[in-house]
């Protein structure tokens, strides 16, 4: 029997997810540029939009932009005066993302920050506190990103992390990335400043709400 989750996810995508031509082109762009094909799935983009609108987020930080597919989903959920700070380590990926922001018409709401998150995040803190922090970068740094997010979110703000399941790797860890994700999920669940849960859609989103 095929995994029933696939049928459910197809069902969710059919009901809740609509991609325009720009999003379809951007989803295909990593392959064209010899980049890893690890963007979020379209229905995970819908989930991010829903979470952003749920809390009326106006400021977002994305850690790990890749070709900007998730960035475009999130930027489009912002009001006109909203702002998304997108952090990307690879200058090659950042160049593709910049083109994609223009294609999707979100360049005015997105500020792309190129370089190491360890250098950029401490400086970016001056622009906070933020409403929403999305983590989708190197897994071994997730615990560090979590602490940065907790320190820089407003009360009621969300920290959201992609790949909470690591495609099963959290149950029987095979490598440092799997172990780091398990460490992250446990830190999120036990964090005294967060109310947390894992939403098991796609590769799962771990979500923490910043307590007062």
Q: Which residue has the tokens 């320190």?
A: 151
Tell me how far, at minimum, the Cβ of 26 lies from ligand DHB, in Å: 15
- Calculate Rg over the CA atoms of the chain: 16
User: Which of residues 59 and 163 has its CB atom nearest to ligand DHB in the complex?
Assistant: 163
Q: Applying CB under 5 A, which residues contact Mg ion?
A: 136, 162-163
Which residues are 60's β-sheet partners? 84, 132
**Residue 136 sits in the site that holds ligand DHB (CB under 6 A):** yes
64 contacts 88 by C-beta, under 8 angstroms:
yes
Among 65, 71, 163, 185, binds ligand DHB (CB under 6 A): 163
Angle between helices 142-152 and 176-190 (to 10 degrees): 30
Binding mask 28-67 for ligand DHB (x = CB under 6 A): ----------x-----------------------------
Q: How many residues does the chain have?
A: 212
3-state secondary structure of 175: coil
CB of 211 to ligand DHB, least distance (A): 27
- Is 71 an interacting residue with respect to ligand DHB (CB under 6 A)? no
- Do 47 and 23 meet the contact criterion of CB atoms below 8 Å apart? no
Query: Measured from the CB of residue 201, what is the shortest distance to ligand DHB in angstroms?
Result: 13
Q: Is 90 exposed, middle or buried (0-12, 13-18, 19+ CB in 10 A)?
A: middle
CB of 141 to ligand DHB, least distance (A): 12
By beta-carbon proximity to ligand DHB, the closer residue of 88 and 203 is 203
| Residue nearer to ligand DHB on the CB measure, 83 or 117 | 117
Residue nearest to ligand DHB (CB): 38
Instruction: Kindly give the pairing relationship between strand 130-135 and strand 153-162.
Output: parallel
Interface residues toward ligand DHB, by CB under 6 A: 38, 136, 162-163, 203
């Amino acid at each position: 029997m095929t995994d029933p989750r696939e049928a459910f996810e197809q069902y969710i995508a059919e009901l809740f997810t609509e991609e325009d031509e720009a999003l379809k082109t951007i989803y295909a762009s990593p392959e064209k540029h010899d980049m890893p094909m690890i963007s979020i799935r379209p229905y995970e983009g819908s989930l991010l939009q829903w979470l952003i609108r749920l809390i009326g987020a106006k400021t977002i930080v994305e850690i790990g932009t890749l070709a900007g597919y998730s960035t475009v989903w999130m930027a489009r959920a912002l009001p006109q005066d909203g702002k998304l700070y997108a952090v990307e380590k690879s200058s090659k990926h950042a160049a593709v993302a910049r083109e994609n922001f223009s294609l999707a018409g979100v360049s005015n709401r997105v500020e792309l920050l190129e370089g190491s998150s360890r250098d950029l995040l401490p400086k970016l803190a001056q622009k906070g506190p933020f409403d929403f922090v999305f983590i989708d970068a190197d897994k071994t740094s997730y615990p560090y990103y979590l602490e940065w997010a907790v320190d820089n979110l407003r009360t009621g703000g969300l920290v959201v992390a992609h790949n909470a399941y690591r495609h099963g790797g959290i149950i029987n860890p095979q490598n440092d990335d799997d172990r780091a994700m398990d460490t992250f999920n446990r830190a999120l669940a036990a964090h005294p400043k967060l109310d947390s849960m894992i939403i098991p859609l796609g590769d799962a989103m771990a979500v923490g709400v910043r307590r007062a």
